[in-house]
Amino acid sequence: MSGRSVFVHGPSLEDYGFGEGHPFNPIRLRLTVDLCEASGLLEGYEPAEPNPATEADLLTVHSLTYIRLVQQASRGEGNVSDMRDYGIGTPDNPVTPHVHDACARVVGAVLGAYRLVMAGEAAHAMCISGGLHHALRSQASGFCFYNDAGVAIARMKEEHPGIRIAYVDTDAHHGDGVQWMFYEDPDVLTVSMHESGRYLFPGTGGIEEWGRNGGVGYSVNAPLEPYTVDGSWISCFDALVPEALRAFGPDIIISQNGCDGHALDPLTHLSATTRLYEHVPRVIHDLAHELCGGRWVATGGGGYDIWRVVPRAWTALWATLSHQELPEKVSRAWLAEWGRQSPVELPYLMRDDPADYPAVDRASTIAERNRRTTEAVLERVMPLISPG
Amino acid sequence: MLLVRDSMSREVIAITPETTAAQALALCRERRIRHLPVIDGERLVGIVSDRDLRSATPALGDPQRTSELERIRASEVMTRDPVTTIPDEPIESAANMMRERWIGCLPVVEDGDLVGVITSSDVMEALVFLVGAHEPGSRFEVVVPDRPGTLAGAAGIFGELGINIVSVAMGARREEMPDGSPGRAVVFRVDTVNPGEAAEVLEQAGYRVLWPPAAPV
């Protein structure tokens, strides 16, 4: 239960985002880093800021045409209607100056994180700017231009032939981009738990999306009902993730730790609290030690209650990843600094008080449906996974 | 769009009237299908389901089973003159034919020749493509007043916000508008991860948004 942990971050990673008035506002990264720092959790942890991803890195999973269009858009050039066909310049994925460079830095940070881990310089690495799991081969989607986990996994496969990679995605939205990139690959297990696509973007992630050809069984999806609470979510997670990872036997785990399944999140309809966002990293941490010598890279992802939820959820992630105790209270210095700017009242405890989250209507029906989904995955998909 | 030809399988696994029950059952098992059209040359003469074959042959364990399976021919158990469809039939009428007659597979015939088959799974797939998620998108369920132009009005709101519509389904089901006047439910799939603003604008414009719900405060 030890090993060095690295916090991969730098101010330039906060350039990727779409600013005021757009849900994907990079201030959420600043708020999180500040909260980690103010909580004393960064003492002795010098943040590592790696190099940007190169064009060759991006080409491992993106098409050249698409990369060229993003570069053009980034310089304020190019034909608007051509770009829209590639998801560029839509309300979700607006073009900001230098969006190519900003996103390539995020990809580079996740590449750097995994290289530190694979080189044995760190057991665990966290990069909260990463987690852009919707980016597709030739399409910007859901706030994501380039797919950091996709590039990192593709590079890992080149640099470490035969490596087996487990990708675990607990963002409220289905991890579609990463899934499709490795849909036929039995050396990459993608596990995504998310709000059902019937109710939430991107609409995919049903259990029957279990991979294709040689990759059958290596895409695991557990769509959860809207308004799922911690208890039901945690029991589904505990029933599926350890079993899937043990059956697969990874050499490294990459987790996408989007925290937009929180009850306060404005974009989704799940009803989790910080309890879930402490539980998930704890289980992944223990699995990393049990199965793959501790090798674990954690990324951020969605999370659109940027004041009350994101900073606390990802500080809890860092505390687990760096084997430190999460303080009970939110730092007073942090509250003083950000309280005035926040449009909402900031919480003063690091963990949500269950009393503030009243029971959800039909909770037992929802839990029952999630239980059936979990059983169906255990019955139909899990037997298809085998250790290399 | 939405014709039988768009959803049917063109590579049909067919048998002849002389095919034995043993061969036919083996085909069903290997190809994981339940219906085999029976052809004489190119002409469709019947259809056999795995159930027809099983009920015509002795049960597993019966000592007669193997020899019976070899003896019985498709021509003895097939349904003659089966219900068929044509490539240009709208898929909903083919689906309705299957639903009313409790059948899971229709041979598709053109000028008497078998050109394909369409099964209930193909119809389901067409439905999934119609309202389903093959491109990233968010689902909206909106009630519009039951008057000319209101669907265009709701669709126009997405247009003004720069949000592309991926699919639309509007059914015969009646819903009430907030003031009790008649309305119809429409399901839109639209290309955005952030449906909140569009939902708000639709509500302000007088439409009733059943999904997504208002964001928590």
Compute the nearest-CA separation of B145 from chain A (Å). Answer: 23
Q: What's the start-to-end Cα distance of chain A, in Å?
A: 26
Tell whether B82 and B36 lie within a shared domain. yes
Contact between residue A304 and residue A267 where contact means Cβ atoms under 8 Å apart: yes
Report the mean per-residue pLDDT for chain A. Answer: 96
pLDDT reading at A57 higher than 60: yes
Tell whether B83 and B151 lie within a shared domain. no
ipTM of the complex: 0.82
Give the span between the Cα atoms of B164 and A145, in whole angstroms: 18
Tell whether B10 and B117 lie within a shared domain. yes
The band of A1, judged by pLDDT with boundaries at 50, 70 and 90, is very low
> B128, B159, B182: which is the final residue of a domain?
B128
pLDDT value for B39 = 94
DSSP β-ladder status, A188-195 and A165-169: parallel
Tell whether B163 and B93 lie within a shared domain. no
Is B196's Cβ below 8 Å from some Cβ in A? yes
pLDDT reading at B116 higher than 80: yes
pLDDT tens profile A356-388: 998 888 999 999 999 999 999 999 999 999 987
Q: Is A203 in contact with B164 (Cβ distance < 8 A)? A: no
Domain around A191: 5-384
pLDDT tens profile A317-334: 999 999 999 999 999 999
pLDDT value for B57 = 83
> B100, B128, B156: which is the final residue of a domain?
B128
SS3 A102: helix
pLDDT value for B132 = 66
pLDDT tens profile B49-89: 999 998 888 888 888 888 888 999 999 999 998 999 999 99
pLDDT value for B133 = 66
Is A204's Cβ below 8 Å from some Cβ in B? yes
> What percentage of chain A reaches a pLDDT higher than 90?
94
Tell whether B124 and B49 lie within a shared domain. yes
CATH of the domain at B88: 3.10.580.10
Tell whether B99 and B165 lie within a shared domain. no
Domain around B203: 133-211
In a domain, B216, yes or no: no
CATH of the domain at A328: 3.40.800.20
Give the span between the Cα atoms of B189 and B166, in whole angstroms: 5
List, as own/partner pairs, every contact residues B57-66 make where C-beta atoms lie below 8 angstroms and the sequence separation is at least 24, other chains included: B57/B21, B66/B22
Tell whether B95 and B138 lie within a shared domain. no
Tell whether B98 and B146 lie within a shared domain. no
pLDDT reading at A47 higher than 50: yes
With CA atoms as reference, report the closest residue to B142 among B182, B177, B193. B177
- The number of folded domains in chain A is 1
CATH of the domain at B163: 3.30.70.260
In a domain, B217, yes or no: no
Q: Is A92 in contact with B191 (Cβ distance < 8 A)? A: yes
Residue B184 corresponds to which tokens in the numbers above? 């119809």
Residues of B whose CB is below 8 A from A200: 138-139
Q: Is B136 in contact with A203 (Cβ distance < 8 A)? A: yes
The band of A133, judged by pLDDT with boundaries at 50, 70 and 90, is very high
Mean local confidence (pLDDT), B113-133: 85
Give the span between the Cα atoms of A46 and A245, in whole angstroms: 31
SS3 B151: helix
Q: Is B133 in contact with A197 (Cβ distance < 8 A)? A: yes
In a domain, B48, yes or no: yes
Q: Is A202 in contact with B136 (Cβ distance < 8 A)? A: yes
Tell whether B103 and B173 lie within a shared domain. no
Give the list of residues 6+ apart from residue B85 with CB closer than 8 angstroms, or none: B4, B94, B97, B106, B107, B108, B109, B118
pLDDT tens profile A239-256: 999 999 999 999 999 999
What's the count of helices (H) and strands (E) in chain B, helices before strands?
Answer: 9, 9
Tell whether B98 and B150 lie within a shared domain. no
What is the DSSP secondary-structure string of B158-187? HHHTTPPEEEEEEEEEEEE-TTS-EEEEEE
> Which ranges in chain A belong to alpha helices (H)?
27-38, 55-58, 64-74, 80-84, 99-118, 148-159, 176-181, 230-248, 274-292, 310-321, 332-339, 363-380
DSSP β-ladder status, B113-119 and B105-110: antiparallel
Tell whether B85 and B23 lie within a shared domain. yes
pLDDT tens profile A72-124: 999 999 888 889 999 999 999 999 999 999 999 999 999 999 999 999 999 99
- The number of folded domains in chain B is 2
Tell whether B61 and B115 lie within a shared domain. yes
